[in-house]
Amino acid sequence: MYKPTPVSIENAPPVDRRRLIPFTHEEKRRIFRGMVAGELEAGILRYSRRTQLLKYAERLEIDEFEATLLIAEAQYHADQIEPIRFDSDASLDSLSRPESWSISVRLAVALISAIFINLLLIWWLIR
């Protein structure tokens, strides 16, 4: 009888890291500088934004010291760097507050809810 071997990190097959991380280190640095430029308000970076950017840098596998240097560089050359902004921040807070949803999402939720309620009423009347 076939007995499967349990999979763990120790006996897992090697993973091609290039497939998982599609950006080179220089591309990650450029993206991070653009993120910093997008978060600047009149040349000033708020502490809360700086903390969030350092978390993003960690996800991009940029160490904290290099991220701090990139933040300083982006602040100094802010007029020469194309800012990168994220239009939708899909956090739990934004998803749980319907007033932060776009009009099209609100209409879609209302339409789906109305269809569901109508189907329930029809099912209740038929049975």
Q: Which one, of 30, 21, 37, lies nearest residue 85 by Cα?
A: 37
**Tell me: the pLDDT tens digits for 44-62?**
778 888 888 888 888 888 8
pLDDT at 7: 44
pLDDT at 77: 76
Both tokens assigned to 7: 């999979």
What residues contact 60, with CB distance under 8 A and at least 6 apart? Answer: 23, 28, 31, 32
Segments in 40-77 forming alpha helices (H): 47-59, 64-76
- Per-domain residue ranges for the chain? 20-87
Distances (CA, A) of 41 to 50, 67, 83, 84, 98: 12, 19, 12, 14, 27
pTM of the model: 0.49
Which DSSP state fits 4?
P
pLDDT at 37 over 90: no
**Average pLDDT of the segment spanning 91-116:** 77
Distance CA 69, CA 25 (A): 15
pLDDT band at 99, cuts 50/70/90?
A: low
**Average pLDDT of the segment spanning 63-92:** 74
pLDDT at 96: 57
